[in-house]
């Protein structure tokens, strides 16, 4: 294919996939998560983790703070070992968007890419090693003409805990959780 | 001959936009919608019994002799909210001719929350609390709203996925009212 035809092909591909996505029931909505590099954290200290999600083209999901009590917020629920603390779970602000089904009531939504961040802090008691952190992202998607039942996206990443300075006069206990 | 990539991109975008608009215009005109309905048209609507918001058990087949607009919806579904005022009007307009609109809430919300929502929307037609099993009988109901139009004999006349035009609903209601035998509903 000649270089000059590439933009044409890309444009057609984009709009065709968009049109398919907008036809209710013809394409299932999806949210995917980019692979996360293992997070290396020294015990007793915090490390930042960013989870990058992508909403399929043509769909949107509610933000974490939708504008109506009846809307289902996007929410990340993590299940970490008790001595690895997850804090500062931060959702991006939703984009205020109007849709053909409610032109006068802008909704707070995520579409395209969005990032949820948090801080991982292994307690001093954690044995150095690798730990798997699991969770799920609950979301409910719509397109311009229809909505789809809530879904759960499994979320996994790995935390590598390094040995930090042992607090004076303390004997670190064993973590109750087995290594992966 | 040299081609300007920006101009090509513009032409491609315009052509694609025209295709997109044409596609949706065809849907609005009912072309695609009738294709959606082809696989269920003429089949008997699966019977079910579900609880209404006032605690009564309602059986779909008890509406035999009436045309039924069966609408699967949820409180979290924006497009469903657009249809509800239409259904209120259509129930008033076509109810005397034998139409019964039945909304099935496919919701995790409590009965109280659904009642509150329905009250806010001024709904004047029957709302039932949905069950997954009933949704499965109707093909899974993975898209909301999904609406079935059932004739007086209990046969499916049409099915629509997603928000459609009010005129398409009116056409399907008229079709449902004109088919089957009108009998006094036993309720």
Average pLDDT in the B77-102 region?
Answer: 96
**Complex prediction ipTM:** 0.76
**pTM here?**
0.76
- Residue A132 pLDDT greater than 70, yes or no: yes
Distance from CA of B52 to the nearest CA of A (A): 20
Average pLDDT in the A109-127 region?
Answer: 95
More confident site: A155 or A165: A155
Among positive and negative, which fits the CA dihedral A76, A82, A84, A85?
positive
Average pLDDT in the A119-140 region?
Answer: 94
**What pLDDT digit, counting tens, does each position of A96-113 carry?**
998 877 778 889 999 999
Under 8 Å between Cβ of A148 and B144: yes
SS (H, E, C) A74-137: CEEEEECCCCEEEEEEECCCCEEEEECCEEEEEEEEECCEEEEEEEEEECCCCCCEEEEEEEEE
Q: How far apart are CA B98 and CA B180, in angstroms?
A: 12
> Which residues in B lie closer than 8 A to residue A4 (C-beta atoms)?
3, 5, 8
Q: B14, B31, B77, B118: best mutation site toward chain A, by most A Cβ within 10 Å?
A: B77
Contact B144 A148 (CB under 8 A): yes
Under 8 Å between Cβ of B73 and B103: yes
DSSP letter, residue A147 = B
Under 8 Å between Cβ of B147 and B160: yes
Contact B74 A147 (CB under 8 A): yes
- Shortest CB distance from A71 goes to which of B13, B15, B76? B76
Distance from CA of A33 to the nearest CA of B (A): 23
Distance from CA of B175 to the nearest CA of A (A): 23
């Amino acid at each position: 294919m000649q270089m000059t035809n590439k933009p044409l092909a890309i444009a057609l591909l984009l709009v065709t996939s968009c049109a398919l996505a907008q036809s209710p029931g013809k394409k299932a909505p999806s949210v995917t998560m980019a692979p996360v590099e293992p997070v290396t954290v020294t015990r007793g200290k915090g490390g930042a983790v960013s989870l990058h999600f992508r909403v399929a083209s043509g769909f949107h999901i509610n933000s974490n703070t939708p504008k109506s009590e009846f809307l289902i917020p996007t929410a990340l629920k993590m299940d970490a070992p008790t001595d690895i603390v997850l804090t500062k779970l931060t959702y991006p602000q939703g984009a205020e968007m109007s849709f053909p089904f409610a032109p006068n009531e802008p909704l707070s939504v995520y579409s395209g890419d969005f990032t949820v961040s948090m801080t991982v802090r292994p307690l001093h008691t954690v044995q150095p090693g690798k730990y798997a952190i699991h969770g799920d992202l609950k979301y409910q998607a719509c397109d311009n003409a229809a909505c789809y039942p809530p879904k759960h996206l499994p979320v996994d990443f790995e935390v590598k805990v390094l040995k930090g300075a042992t607090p004076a006069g303390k004997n670190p206990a064993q973590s109750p959780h087995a290594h992966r | 001959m040299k081609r300007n990539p920006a101009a090509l991109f513009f032409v491609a975008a315009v052509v694609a936009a025209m295709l997109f608009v044409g596609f949706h215009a065809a849907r609005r005109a009912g072309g695609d919608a009738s294709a959606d309905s082809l696989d269920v048209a003429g089949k008997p609507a699966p019977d079910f019994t579900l609880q209404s918001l006032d605690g009564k058990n309602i059986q779909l087949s008890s509406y035999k002799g009436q045309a039924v607009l069966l609408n699967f919806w949820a409180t979290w579904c924006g497009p469903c909210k657009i249809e509800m005022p239409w259904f209120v009007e259509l129930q008033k307009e076509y109810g005397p001719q034998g139409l019964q609109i039945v909304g099935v809430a496919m919701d995790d919300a409590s009965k109280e929350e659904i009642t509150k929502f329905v009250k806010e929307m001024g709904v004047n037609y029957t709302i039932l609390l949905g069950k997954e099993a009933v949704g499965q009988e109707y093909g899974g109901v993975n898209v909301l709203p999904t609406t079935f139009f059932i004739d007086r004999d209990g046969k499916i006349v049409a099915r629509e996925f997603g928000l459609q035009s009010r005129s398409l609903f009116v056409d399907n209601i008229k079709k449902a009212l004109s088919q089957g035998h009108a009998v006094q509903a036993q309720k």
